[in-house]
Amino acid sequence: MVATLLHEIPLEGGDVTDGVVRVGDTVRRPVSASTPAVHALLRHLEVMGFAGAPRVLGVDGLGREVLTYLPGVSGVRLESVTDEALEGLARLLRDYHDATAGFPLTLDGWEGGSNDDRAPDVLGHCDLTPDNVIFRAGRPYAMIDFDLARPTTRLFDVVTTLRHWAPIADPVDRPPLLRNLDVGARLRLFCDAYGVPPRDRRRLLELARLRFQRSYTVMRGRAAAGGNWAKMWAGGAGERIRRAAAWLDVHEDELHAHLV
């Protein structure tokens, strides 16, 4: 058990979990049904020498998980994500996936099933949003918040990351400076840096479409239960997914051409 110190600094970067705090060089977070599985994963990553994730230190006297605090900036603005940073993010995801090798891909202990219909080939993070990536000196070097981790496909994790970072979004839902962004070029850059094989590149946009449908339904279901998901839904999360899917339909051929 890790002693609880008195000085707690609230961390408000995320939308979902209330009560995330920093205490010295540690972070304390409420536990959930998947916490034991996440801790096993983080310990596996530590053994594999993967430096881009927090270490597990245990559970504190208040029953919260204790993780190492990773210094830097999370929630970077998309306008500041250069091509080099995007490539760095692709390599971070690739290194993470490679470091999960040997970790069991059974669904026991994880909440929810694989997000893809294909057989799982990796233990995915599944939520690599800007809030969940830590930058230092302009470079992404670590990922946090493994609450949605589960066995899935590498491609699903790639698609989710691109949804947020390319981004695969209707221009009205992007920062003004990014409305004319060449999204296809960003998809390609990311896939090249990750090393996404040709068969996966051909399926990437199809999986993006499936992901939009599923995340719409899943989020609507969670929002119905109230809490922070309901706030996100009321803030237009569902409409943004619908607009992104419609934008993808219109631009699919042009985006696909960059990938294959």
Ligand X SMILES: Nc1ncnc2c1ncn2[C@@H]1O[C@H](COP(=O)(O)OP(=O)(O)O)[C@@H](O)[C@H]1O
Binding site for ligand X (CB under 6 A): 11, 13-17, 20, 27, 29, 54, 67, 69-70, 74-75, 131-132, 134, 144-145, 147
> Could you tell me which stretch among 13-21, 55-63, 85-93, 173-181 binds Mg ion (CB under 5 A)?
13-21
The amino acid at residue 205 is L
Residue 14, interface with Mg ion (CB under 5 A)? yes
Of the candidate residues 65, 116, 131, 200, the single one contacting Mg ion (CB under 5 A): 131
Minimum distance, C-beta of residue 145 to Mg ion, in the bound complex (Å):
4
Rg (CA), the chain: 18
Binding partner of residue 249 among Mg ion, ligand X, none, CB under 5 to 8 Å per kind?
none
**Distance separating alpha carbons of residues 260 and 258, to the nearest angstrom:** 6
> Could you tell me which stretch among 67-75, 133-141, 145-153, 227-235 binds Mg ion (CB under 5 A)?
145-153
Minimum distance, C-beta of residue 130 to ligand X, in the bound complex (Å):
9
Minimum distance, C-beta of residue 97 to ligand X, in the bound complex (Å):
20
Residue 239 CB contacts under 8 Å (≥ 6 apart), including other chains: none
Minimum distance, C-beta of residue 222 to ligand X, in the bound complex (Å):
13
For residues 127 and 170, which CB has a smaller minimum distance to ligand X in the complex? 127
For residues 74 and 203, which CB has a smaller minimum distance to ligand X in the complex? 74
Q: For residue 241, which of 223, 225, 254, 258 has the smallest C-alpha distance?
A: 223
**Which tokens in the block code for residue 121?**
């080939």
Binding partner of residue 192 among ligand X, Mg ion, none, CB under 5 to 8 Å per kind?
none
**CA-CA distances (angstroms) from residue 23 to 6, 64, 180?**
8, 12, 42
Instruction: Give Cα 249 distance to the centre of its chain.
Output: 23
Binding partner of residue 27 among Mg ion, ligand X, none, CB under 5 to 8 Å per kind?
ligand X
Per DSSP, the three-state class of 37 is helix
Residue 145, interface with Mg ion (CB under 5 A)? yes
Binding partner of residue 153 among ligand X, Mg ion, none, CB under 5 to 8 Å per kind?
none
Please report how many Cα atoms fall inside a 13 Å half-sphere around the Cα of residue 252, on the Cβ side: 14
For residues 16 and 85, which CB has a smaller minimum distance to Mg ion in the complex? 16
Minimum distance, C-beta of residue 161 to ligand X, in the bound complex (Å):
15
Could you tell me if 132 and 74 are in contact, meaning their C-beta atoms sit under 8 angstroms apart? yes
Could you tell me if 157 and 122 are in contact, meaning their C-beta atoms sit under 8 angstroms apart? yes
**Distance separating alpha carbons of residues 86 and 38, to the nearest angstrom:** 26
**Distance separating alpha carbons of residues 206 and 202, to the nearest angstrom:** 8
Minimum distance, C-beta of residue 246 to ligand X, in the bound complex (Å):
27
Nearest residue to ligand X, by Cβ distance, number only: 14
The total number of residues written for the chain in this structure:
260
Minimum distance, C-beta of residue 12 to ligand X, in the bound complex (Å):
7
Binding site for Mg ion (CB under 5 A): 14, 131-132, 145
